[in-house]
Amino acid sequence: MRIRFIALIAALVSTNLFATTIVEDLQNQNRRLQKIIDKNNVIIKKKLGGGGITDETALITSAPVRKNRVSQDTTPDNNYAAPAADQLSLMSDLNQYLGGLPKRAIPQSFIVGTGISTIDGKTAPVDTYNYTGQQDILYIAPTLMVGWQALDNLWIEGSYARRVATNVPVAGLDVTYETLAMRFKYNYQTPWFNINLQPYMGFQATLVDAPGLGENNSQNPFLVDQAKLQREKDYIENQKENKLILGVTVIKPFMKSFFVRGDLGTDWRSASLGMLF
């Protein structure tokens, strides 16, 4: 319970940092872009105002109509040319703006990894007739994950984990747990040892199956306890879950194409190793 509480707090903090940073970045980029647009508007006004024209409509309507002849005057009208200094200043601002946009902290576009993670489950009930007394438990499961860097520093990731709990809920029966998750992550590179933080949010589905549980396996229908069969079905159904998830990933690339990482969130706790390409 304490681990889950810590995971929830870490997820909320990282998600708040994620949202705040993105909003601040967008606001800063908008302000810088607006300055460039304003400067460009000033240049346009200079060009239009050079010949006594103050707007684009006047420029169009004031042009003389010539039919079936070509003007012999090829002298450029310098009144409508923006000064070179203004053009250079505008280009410099634009290059500076483009250079200030976020760059990929991880240059590769794809990630594939495998490791171990936790799956929320239930222990066998103490009272197997009434199905009471079971407790929450974290099962360790092998996990596969794949990710794609859709935009600079914005990752979309999917994962799959599976664990078979034997002799649960009763001897001779097994419960199979499977989790499928989709996560959206934003990558921040820390100044320490090329370690990256990836706050994430997403969706997770937990699938639970126990063949034979809740089914009538007796040859004598008079020995069937329908209430007990329903409790067995409820034991399975109550563990199935679809939920929104929050968390943070810590990832450390090494040797250019490999990485180690750990995850802490409301969905799982995991450790994995994989490749970047």
pLDDT above 90: residue 261? yes
Work out the average pLDDT over 251-277.
Answer: 96
Per DSSP, the three-state class of 240 is coil
Residue with tokens 């993105």: 22
Q: What's the pLDDT tens digit per position in 57-105? A: 444 444 454 454 444 555 555 554 555 666 666 676 666 665 555 689 9
Structural domain spans, the chain: 22-99, 103-276
Q: What is the dihedral of CA 75, 79, 80, 83, to 10 degrees?
A: 110
Q: Model's pTM, two decimal places?
A: 0.67
Between the CA of residue 178 and those of 86, 119, 136, what are the distances in Å? Answer: 62, 8, 16
Please report the pLDDT score of residue 219 as a whole number: 60
Q: Average pLDDT, stretch 265-277?
A: 95
Per-residue burial over 251-266, b = 16 or more CB atoms within 10 Å of its CB, e = otherwise:
bebeeeeebebebbbb
For residue range 187-230, what is the model confidence (pLDDT) as tens digits? 999 999 999 999 999 999 999 999 888 887 666 565 668 888 89
Yes or no: say if 90 and 33 are a contact pair by the CB < 8 Å rule.
Answer: no
Give the pLDDT confidence score for residue 209 in this predicted structure: 94
The DSSP code for 223 is: G
How does pLDDT run across 10-38, given as a tens digit for each residue? 555 655 655 566 666 667 667 777 777 77
Report phi then psi at 263, rounded to 5. Answer: -130, 140
Q: Does domain 103-276 fall into CATH 3.40.50.450?
A: no
Extract the tokens encoding 118: 């936790």
DSSP letters along 80-129, please? GSPPHHHHHHHHHHHHHHHHTS---SS--SEEEEEEEEEEEEEPPPSBTT
Over residues 139-144, the mean pLDDT reads: 97
